[in-house]
Chain A
Amino acid sequence: MDLRFTPEELAFREEVRAFIRDNLPADTRERMKLGHPPRKEDTVRWQRILNAKGWAALSWPKEWGGPGWTAIQRMIFLEENLMAPAPELLSFNITMLGPVLLQFGTDEQKQRFLPRAANLDDWWCQGFSEPGAGSDLASLKTAAKLDGDHYVVNGSKIWTSTAHNADWCFLLVRTDPNARKRQEGISFLLVDMKTPGITVRPIISIDASHHLNEVFFDDVRVPVSMRVHAENKGWDVAKFLLGNERTGIARLGKSQERVRAAVDMAREVNFNGAPLIQDQTFRQRVAQLQVDMKALEITQYRVVSAYDKAKGAGKPDPLSSVLKVKGTELLQATTELAVDVAGPMATPIWAQELAAMNEPDEMLEASSAGTASYLMLRAASIYGGTNEIQKNILTKAVLGL
């Protein structure tokens, strides 16, 4: 047992921090420091910079452009990247599609898609949830019928994040409606979003932004060669994808960055006749968040260090569910803190009107962006398996009930 970072790990953190500091484009950094989410072009540009350095395909093997890092190094990178704050690597490409193709894909699929996914030449999205299949994913109905060397897909997906940005979609479809068990009739397809018959309809979320979509499939023809793994074995792929190294899921660096920003703002705003930062209740709230973030940080390193020890083999660690639940609770608590610090300035929406009417007003802009983040992150305990589902997983996997 050695519970400290090794000198190599500490040096690695310095190297990552310096690279991000020297290479993150200034306009991206400024937007993100104010609390805005990255624009599509911010994400693409940054992922390409990282990919050129060999740092994008984080968990992939070296021959596919991976950096050859340990899981602990990957964790350090993810933390530093979030704390910078810099755009996150597109998880659909890097932590979902990539590992799936490496595990189940044909050589042709790997050759065609992996390098482009790493460099974000293709933006991928995830077609899983349906109006009638949320937490109960296996009840999905979108159908794919074989017609010669194509599947014909009909149905609809919902909550499809960034489908409006996407070039490609990995899609769960029902290929055998008569399967004995629902899980046994599902296949995993790769679909070009430009295929005729696909309609993307925006869903505006409570932060007044467009992240989410409905995607309709109307006689969409997908070549059989775009199926990953065997027909009717798509559930295995989905389970692999959802269970695959979910260590980044806590997004702890984001919580840390949000607390930092809230404390900085607390110096500038008034509370009861003095700067808010002098208020005991506020300070205790920050201290409590520091306690909870530290516990999560160590739990996170326990998970990744076990992953390194097991050489990545074996089943997903049930502690990943702890990371998901505790990590998202913290994301929500830290963004809630930011909103409370902003006070009355948390309410205006920073859109064209305000941006145009005012002189640059960073305080107002940051307040508004903080609220957007607070609102959007209500989704954190819903996506990726709701926190209630995570507790069901723990009940089964750890408690054996």
Chain B
Amino acid sequence: MDFEPSEDQRLLVESVTRMLGDTYGFAQRKSYMGQAEGYAPAIWSQFAELGLLGLPFAEEYGGFGGGAQEVMLVMQAFGRALVLEPFLSTVVLAGTAVNRAGSAQQKQAILPAIAEGRLKMAFAHGERQARYDLNDVVTTAKRDGSGWVLDGSKTVVSHGEAADKLIVSARTGGDRHDEDGITLFLVDAQAPGVARRGYLSRDDTRAADIALSNVSVPDADVLGEVGHGLPIVRRVVEAGIAATAGETVGAMEAMNEMTLEYSKTRVQFGQPIGSYQVVQHRLADMFMTQEQGRSMAMLATMSVDNPDDAARTHDIALAKVGIGQAGRYVSQSAVQMHGGIGMTEEYAVGHYFRRCMVIERLFGDPAYYLAKLAAEVR
């Protein structure tokens, strides 16, 4: 066991942190939010130049050759800066799907394009009726000559509006809840029959509902095996859980630093509020929670490539519950310790609060995974 980042990993974090320090102050971020895409395309290009967009891809696909650890470290830095760009949806979610299920040809067509910043993607899996159940898919794909025709709708697709290409899950067989019969498709976002309705999410990023009617997809754009998409979806979601766990750690660090700083400068009853033990102990609790959360992010990261399905699923569930609860506690406490100013849109702490709230619900919330763990007790 070794928890220290390697020299290369340290350098990676340094360069990302430096770049974000120069470009991602809270005021700068506000201007990125105002851009049409809901983020800054110029920053996206800088991510590409730094090699971040190919971070987990093999070098033969123009990637950096990194893995879950590098993703965790970068996501941590992104969490501190509240990065708006579609890194999670493109590099982590779509990247994982293509990496795991794509043919050599598909990888060659997609991964280098992502790495160079030319291709943004979104993972269009969730449906309204499914809530958090990954197997609950009613969007259909029917055989049509040598290709497929997709019909249905996907909801709260993160960065669905900005994406050039979507990964869409659809039923090619079986009934609504069946594990088998789900197939993944690569769908051009501009394809006829794809209608995207974008909206602002609580975390300042944009998401979209996507309606698919009579969307033709050639056989060559099936990702993985027909009818066996669910295991891929699960791996994608697990990668997303690990990445957002890292992001939550970064957000918690930022909130704890802000709160500590505030407690030193905010004077009430003639003294900085940080001199009061009731405030100090809350800060200590927030710190402890952050560290327990960091341990859970590490657990998710070390589990994500574990080939043992049962062990991996179990550990990811543990981590998802732990990190979600940690993020909730720290963000609620951070607002409370700030008092009135913490309630305002102009102040950063509320934005961290809302990002943590959104992350908690991405890929299933703590209650959902706790129920899964409870079912395993024996």
Contacts and interface: CB of A to CB of B under 8 A. Distances in A.
Q: Are A and B bound to each other? A: yes
Contacts of A34: none
A288 interface: yes
Given A3-B298, A3-B302, A401-B283, A291 B288 contact: no
Interface string A279-313: 01001101110111011111101100110010000
Contacts of A263: 377-378
B237 to A, nearest CB: 18
A260 to B, nearest CB: 11
A308 to B, nearest CB: 9
B56 to A, nearest CB: 15
B284 interface: yes
A286 B377 contact: yes
Interface string B319-336: 101100100000000000
A128 B285 CA distance: 28
B3 A391 contact: no
Which of B4, B284, B376 has the largest number of chain A CB atoms within 10 A? B284
B374 A299 contact: no
Contacts of B296: 294-295, 298
Give the secondary structure class of B's interface: helix
A391 B1 contact: no
A400 B374 CA distance: 40
A401 B264 contact: yes
B318 to A, nearest CB: 5
B370 interface: yes
Contacts of B277: 392
Given A299-B292, A401-B264, A1 B9 contact: yes
A376 interface: no
Which of A280, A322, A326, A400 has the largest number of chain B CB atoms within 10 A? A322
A277 B377 CA distance: 8
A284 B371 contact: yes
Interface string B283-315: 111011001110110110110000000000001
B252 to A, nearest CB: 13
B280 A299 contact: no
Contact of B318 (A3, A286, A290, A301): A290
A301 B377 contact: no
Interface residues of A, number: 44
Interface string B246-290: 000000000000001001100000000011010011011101100
Contacts of A286: 374, 377
A322 B375 CA distance: 30
Interface string B344-378: 00000000000000000000000000110111111
Given A309-B4, A391-B280, A398-B287, A294 B318 contact: yes
B267 to A, nearest CB: 14
Given A319-B291, A326-B288, A401-B283, A294 B322 contact: yes
Contact of A1 (B2, B299, B377, B378): B2
Contacts of B299: 3, 294-295, 298
Contacts of B301: 3
Interface string B119-133: 000000000000000
B105 interface: no
A347 B374 CA distance: 28
B370 A288 contact: yes
Contact of A388 (B281, B291, B302): B281
A291 B318 contact: yes
Interface string B1-42: 111111001000000000000000000000000000000000
B260 A399 contact: yes
B1 A4 contact: yes
B145 to A, nearest CB: 49
A290 B285 contact: no
B3 A9 contact: no
Which of B1, B274, B302 has the largest number of chain A CB atoms within 10 A? B1
Contact of B374 (A2, A284, A298, A390): A284
A288 B283 CA distance: 23
B155 interface: no
Interface string A6-38: 100100000000000000000000000000000
Given A1-B4, A1-B9, A399-B284, A298 B264 contact: no
A96 interface: no
A102 interface: no
B201 to A, nearest CB: 27
A101 interface: no
A325 interface: yes
A300 to B, nearest CB: 9
27 contacts: A1-B5, A1-B6, A2-B2, A3-B69, A3-B298, A4-B302, A277-B378, A280-B374, A283-B375, A284-B374, A287-B321, A287-B377, A288-B321, A290-B318, A291-B322, A291-B370, A292-B292, A292-B322, A299-B295, A306-B4, A392-B284, A394-B284, A395-B280, A395-B281, A399-B284, A401-B264, A401-B283
Q: 3 tightest A-B contacts by CB?
A: A3-B302, A298-B295, A287-B373
